[in-house]
Structure 1
Amino acid sequence: MDALRALPTLPPLDPLEERILAVVGRARQSEKRLSVRDLMAQEQLGAPATIHTRIKSMRSKGWLVLTDTEDSRRKQVDLTPAALAYFDELSGLMLKAAKGGQG
């Protein structure tokens, strides 16, 4: 539990933001580019305006970053270094816990 408390702290996400984070994480893991437009087109996440609002919220909370593409009108969505550090730490703790539970 102490190790969990030591994780980099980012503001909590609401359930829709967690689903958006999962989509962004899967795209990153499979090395696929994901634009704001691509994310807003995902009907299972809700209305495009709602998704856009949540992207803005997640940026201000430090979970997401938008980067330029070759088309200046399109922005690519990615995880921030703080979000990546959070998931790296969490992953390490989960692996450590899993190894400890096998003995």
Structure 2
Amino acid sequence: MTAQLTDPAVAAFVNAVNAGDKDAFFAALTPDATMADDGTERDLSDWTEKEIFSSNGRMDVESVSPDGRTLTTVYTNSTWGAMRTRWTFTVTGGRVSRFETGQA
């Protein structure tokens, strides 16, 4: 069962990931967006290409925080298989300006 995404910017992010749509993904982000994986800052473009787009990444949302900006998901890609992950988003002006992910 997929939890209901309540923040429109986060929903746009998840929908773009699940569709494999790079244009929609980057449209959901601010131009200066940043990210971290397991507490380590990463180059957003390189990381997303490797971990999402080239490896068919998919987010199956299990739970959503009350503010809609923290998710627990089962994240699956062809490199690592399926893992339970936590995603935290900062939204600025209706777009994601930062996200942090890591194993949950």
Same fold (TM over 0.5): no
TM (normalized to structure 1)? 0.28
Greater radius of gyration (CA): 1
TM (normalized to structure 2)? 0.28
More helix by share: 1
More strand by share: 2
